[in-house]
Amino acid sequence: MSNVEKGSIGTVEAVPPQQALAGEVVQKKPFANPTPIGLFAFSATTLILSLYNANAEGIHVGNVVVGMCIFVGGIVQFFAGMWEVVVGNTFASTVFSLFGGFWMSYGIIFIPGAGILDAYEKVPDQLTGALGIYLIVWFLIVTILMMATLRVNIAFISLFFFLDLTFLFLALSQFTGNVNLAKAGGYTGSICSCIGLYSGAALVINKENSFFTLPLGAISS
């Protein structure tokens, strides 16, 4: 099969997963690389929530993150995933679209008009179990996605590893009621976010616009 695929907008060369994830998009039409947008949208939203989970500044009510969940982590990241489809990046389109949906679904839980939390008013003990199941499913999804990064680079492997730990800690916190596990999830989520911000920076800081570049830790074949 030819490595050139025709899309509705233009002719785009199919990109190997390793190149695509690292932002090396090869194409015949001058589409911008949407990977940094997705990384920044994901990382910024994750960092804010993770700092709340770690009780930074003594914060225990993190509803300020809802706007970020819906608009930045959700809508912006989802559209980044759709743009990844256009440039032929299967893995990144899967990741950004999924997590765009995740952030919107998470944010809507805390919007009063949605009625989700109200449904547990008479059975509050079921809320923690429901949230635990919600988070453990995402732990499983991230575990699968992490397997697809093992030959890409150290930055992306590390990002998915710490994201996986974050979902695991937060899920266990809901199941057990252990607040220290939630804090641990806040710490690992913060690390994951910083790696994501670094990775996004590495894709926009290049020889064309800067005097230096940032390594992502290439893995030899």
Alpha-helical (H) ranges within 9-123 are: 17-21, 35-53, 65-67, 77-86, 90-109
Alpha carbon distance 55, 46 (integer Å): 14
- Tens of pLDDT along the chain (221 residues)? 434 333 333 334 445 544 555 555 555 567 889 999 999 999 999 999 999 999 999 988 889 999 999 999 999 999 999 999 999 999 999 999 999 999 999 999 999 889 999 999 999 999 999 999 999 999 999 999 999 999 999 999 999 999 999 999 999 999 999 999 999 999 999 999 999 999 999 999 988 899 999 999 998 76
Consecutive H or E run containing 15? none
Q: What is the pLDDT of residue 120?
A: 95
Does residue 65 contact residue 52 with C-beta atoms inside 8 Å? yes
Nearest partner of 35 among 73, 75, 71, 87, judged by Cα: 87
What pLDDT is recorded for position 185?
98
Largest Cα span, the chain: 60
Give the pLDDT of residue 60: 86
Tokens of 159: 């990002």
Q: Where are the domains of the chain?
A: 16-204
Among 7, 13, 9, smallest CA distance to 26 is for: 13
Give DSSP secondary structure letters for 139-158: HHHHHHHHHTTTTTBHHHHH
How many of the other CB atoms lie within 10 Å of CB of 136?
Answer: 17
First to last CA, the chain: 24
pLDDT of residue 10: 33
CB-CB neighbours of 2 under 10 Å: 7
The pTM of this model reads: 0.86
